[in-house]
Amino acid sequence: MTDTDSIKEIYKAMGISQEVYEYGEAVAGKLQERFRQIDEVAEYNQLKVLRAMQKNQVSEACLLGTTGYGYNDMGRDTLEAVYADIFHTEDALVRPQITCGTHALALALMSNLRPGDELLSPVGKPYDTLEEVIGIRPSRGSLREYGVTYRQVDLLEDGGFDYEKIRENICDRTRLVTIQRSKGYQTRPTLSVERIGELIAFIKGIKPDVICMVDNCYGEFVEKTEPGDVGADMVVGSLIKNPGGGLAPIGGYIAGKKECVENAAFRLTSPGLGKEVGASLGILKDFYQGLFLAPTVTAAALKGAVFAANLYETLGFPVVPNGSESRHDIIQAVTFGKPEGVIAFCRGIQSAAPVDSHVTPEPWDMPGYDAKVIMAAGAFVSGSSIELSADGPIKPPYAVYFQGGLTWPHAKFGILKSLQCLADAGLADVKSLLPIVTLC
C-alpha cells in the first residue's frame, strides 16, 4: 500500500467518502503558492515574537507566576513588555482576569470614555456582543446608562469607508473611535492593517486628540504589521484566539498608549492599584508558550480558511473573502441561504473535533445575541476560536463563520467533514463538480 493509499484509507475510516476526498485534494493541490506566502508571513512573525522575548530577557523565573495580590510579578510585567514590543505600542495589559474578547473591548471602552463623551463606529455595526456594552440594545451597566452616546457610519456597498459621513459625524464630543478589523456576523470585507491606517489618518486629520481603538480579534499575526504600526491608540484582543496559540486557557490584552492602558488597568482592578496587582497564578507558561507558537498556529488556521473559501466557492456558495483575495483575518464566511446549511456545516466541524466529537450542536439562545446561534467548538480550551470551530446566527442570510485549526491537517479534515455532512444531507453536489475541478 502506498502512502497515498494509506491516507485515503484513514480518511475513509473517519467518514470521508472517496468523492469528497478527491474533490478536496483537487482544490488543495492548487493552493501551494498561497500556502507558501502564508508560511513566509509566519516566519517573519515568528522571528518578531522571538526577538521581543529575547529583548525583554524572558527567563525561567518569568514562567512561575504569583498568588495573592500579585505584587512584583516579574513574569506578568515582562509578558506585557513583550506584547508592547510585538504590537509596537507604549504599554500593554495582558491578564487572565480579562475573561474574553468582549470583556477586553468593554474594559478599553469603559475606562477611556466619560459621561458626555461620544463613541463613533465608522465601520458599521459592531459585533453582536458589543451592542449591549454600548447600549444599542438596552442592558444594565451599558455605556449608554453612564451617559456615553453612540454614532455609527455604515460602510459603502463596496466595503469602502464613507469618508463624507464620517467627517459629518465627528463632533466636539467624539472621544473614541472603535474600528472592528474582522467582519463579525456580517459578510463585509475584513479590514487590512493598511486600510485601518488610512482610516486612522483621516480621523486624526479631523480631530487629532480622538482615541482610535482597533478590535484586533482574529487578525493577529495574519499580516507582518499590526494596527499599532499604523497609529492605533489601543489594540485589543483575546488570548483564546490567535495570540494564545491554542495554549492560553483564558485572557485578553490591551496594547496601546500608556495613558489608555493605565486607564484600563485602573478599571480592571481599582483606582490607585492599576497594573500593580493581579496575580498570574500558574498560567504564565501557557501565555508565553502560546504566544511563541501563535504565528505558526495562525498560519495553519489561515490555510484552512483559504482551503474552505476555494472549496465552497467552487461549489457555488458565496464566500467572504473569496478564494483569491488577500487575507486579513482567519475567519471564513460561507453563505448557504438556508438554516439547514449552517447547521450541517457546524455539525461536520463538531464531528471533526478531538474533544466532544460525539456531541451534536444545536442552535440556542446564547447570551449577548439577538437570534439563536449554533456553535461547533470541540476544543481543548472551551470556546477557543483559534482551535477548529464554526458558528453562525440562525437568521438571514444564513451564513456560517469558520475559523481556527491548530494544525493544517486538522483544519483540512474539519472542512472535509463539513462538506461531507452537507453532501449527505443533499445540500452540496460534489460528484458533478469533481471531473471539472480535477481537469482545471
Spell out the domains of the chain, with CATH numbers in brackets: 3-44+295-439 (3.90.1150.60), 61-291 (3.40.640.10)
Let me know: does 214 contact 188? Beta carbons within 8 Å: no
Cα separation of 374 and 395, whole Å?
11
What's the pLDDT band for 438 if we cut at 50, 70, 90?
Answer: low
What's the pLDDT band for 184 if we cut at 50, 70, 90?
Answer: confident
Q: Starting at the earlier edge strand, list the strands of the sheet with 234-238.
A: 91-95, 252-256, 234-238, 211-215, 174-180, 118-121, 149-152
pLDDT at 142 over 70: yes
What's the pLDDT score for residue 244?
98
Cα separation of 265 and 272, whole Å?
10
Residue listed under C-alpha cell 513583550: 82
What's the pLDDT score for residue 368?
72
Cα separation of 225 and 77, whole Å?
23
What's the pLDDT score for residue 432?
73
What's the pLDDT band for 437 if we cut at 50, 70, 90?
Answer: low
pLDDT at 53 over 90: yes
Give the residue-averaged pLDDT of 155-170. 96
pLDDT at 439 over 70: no
What's the pLDDT band for 292 if we cut at 50, 70, 90?
Answer: very high
Q: Tell me, letter by letter, the H, E, C secondary structure of the chain.
A: CCHHHHHHHHHHHCCCCHHHHHHHHHHHCCCHHHHHHHHHHHHHHHHHHHHHHHHCCCCHHHHCCCCCCCCCCHHHHHHHHHHHHHCCCCEEEEECCCCCHHHHHHHHHHHHCCCCCEEEECCCCCCCCHHHHHCCCCCCCCCHHHCCEEEECCCCCCCCCCHHHHHHHCCCCEEEEEEECCCCCCCCCCCCHHHHHHHHHHHHHHCCCCEEEEECCCCCCCCCCCHHHHCCCEEEEECCCHHHCCCCCCCEEEEECHHHHHHHHHHHCCCCCHHHCCCCCCCHHHHHHHHHHHHHHHHHHHHHHHHHHHHHHHCCCCEECCCCCCCCCCCEEEECCCHHHHHHHHHHHHHCCCCCCCCCCCCECCCCCCCCEEEECCCCCCCCCCCCEEEEECCCCCEEEEECCCCHHHHHHHHHHHHHHHHHCCCCCCCCCHHHHHHC
Backbone torsions φ then ψ of 26, nearest 5 degrees:
-65, -40
Q: What residues pair up with 392 in beta bridges, in sequence order? A: 374
Q: Starting at the earlier edge strand, list the strands of the sheet with 319-320.
A: 319-320, 332-335, 399-403, 389-393, 373-376
Backbone torsions φ then ψ of 333, nearest 5 degrees:
-95, 135
pLDDT at 440 over 60: no
Chain mean pLDDT for the chain: 95
What's the pLDDT score for residue 255?
98
Convert the pLDDT of each residue in 69-91 to its tens digit.
999 999 999 999 999 999 999 99
Convert the pLDDT of each residue in 369-428 to its tens digit.
778 999 998 999 999 999 999 999 999 999 999 999 999 999 999 999 999 999 999 999
pLDDT at 29 over 80: yes
Question: Who contacts 194 (Cβ-Cβ below 8 Å, separation ≥6)?
Answer: 225, 230
Give the residue-averaged pLDDT of 47-51. 98
Give the residue-averaged pLDDT of 336-349. 97
Convert the pLDDT of each residue in 317-334 to its tens digit.
999 999 999 999 999 999
What's the pLDDT score for residue 367?
79
Cα separation of 215 and 238, whole Å?
10
pLDDT at 187 over 80: no
Cα separation of 321 and 309, whole Å?
7
What's the pLDDT score for residue 183?
85
Let me know: does 405 contact 414? Beta carbons within 8 Å: yes
Give the residue-averaged pLDDT of 110-124. 98
What's the pLDDT score for residue 263?
98
Convert the pLDDT of each residue in 216-251 to its tens digit.
999 999 999 999 999 999 999 999 999 999 999 999
Give the residue-averaged pLDDT of 338-360. 97
What's the pLDDT score for residue 435?
59
